[in-house]
């Protein structure tokens, strides 16, 4: 299974946020740290906020924070949210895709089982398990201004 860059970037941001969960992170700050597009990361944060994984606040002192403790956010839940529109294969699409062998296919059920097992394994881990070290603990970290 291959995850989209949308999910990859979302996981990176959440890993940073889990390192200091009481702190608000600006999209600009996270985008700069991971060399990501601010516009793309804004879309990711909106998706995570809509799903109740983060809360966001605009303006001075604003930013994004985890909506609940990182220990209560499973990696499977994050992947489900960020990969929501990405079918593993065409026939898994909400419209059924355009596969001509669907009525006779014996692969689909096996792929569905594999996808379920993949997510079940990720459900066994929480965001706390993959949190990055706080920025201040990194040797190359520069003081925040």
Listed ranges 51-60, 106-115, 133-142; the one with the highest mean pLDDT: 51-60
From CA 83, how far away is CA 5, in angstroms rounded?
A: 10
Label residue 65 by pLDDT band (50, 70, 90).
very high
Q: Which residues contact 75 (CB under 8 A, 6 or more apart)?
A: 11, 122, 123, 125, 126, 127, 129, 130
Q: Which tens digit of pLDDT belongs to each residue from 7-52?
A: 999 999 999 999 999 999 999 999 999 999 999 999 999 999 999 9
Domains of the chain, CATH where assigned: 5-132 (1.10.10.10)
The pLDDT value recorded for residue 100 is 74
């Amino acid at each position: 299974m291959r995850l989209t860059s949308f999910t990859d970037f979302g996981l990176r941001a959440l890993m940073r946020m889990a390192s200091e969960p009481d702190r608000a992170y600006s999209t600009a700050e996270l985008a700069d740290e991971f060399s990501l597009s601010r516009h793309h990361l804004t879309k990711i944060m909106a998706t995570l906020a809509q799903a109740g994984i983060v809360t966001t606040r605009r303006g001075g002192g604003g930013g994004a924070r985890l909506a609940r403790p990182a220990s209560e956010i499973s990696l499977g839940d994050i992947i489900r949210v960020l990969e929501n529109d990405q079918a593993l294969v065409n026939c898994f699409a909400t419209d059924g895709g355009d596969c001509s062998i669907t009525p006779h296919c014996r692969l689909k059920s096996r792929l569905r089982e594999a996808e379920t097992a993949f997510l079940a394994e990720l459900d066994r881990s929480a965001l706390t398990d993959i949190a990055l070290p706080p920025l201040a603990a990194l040797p190359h970290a520069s003081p925040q201004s």
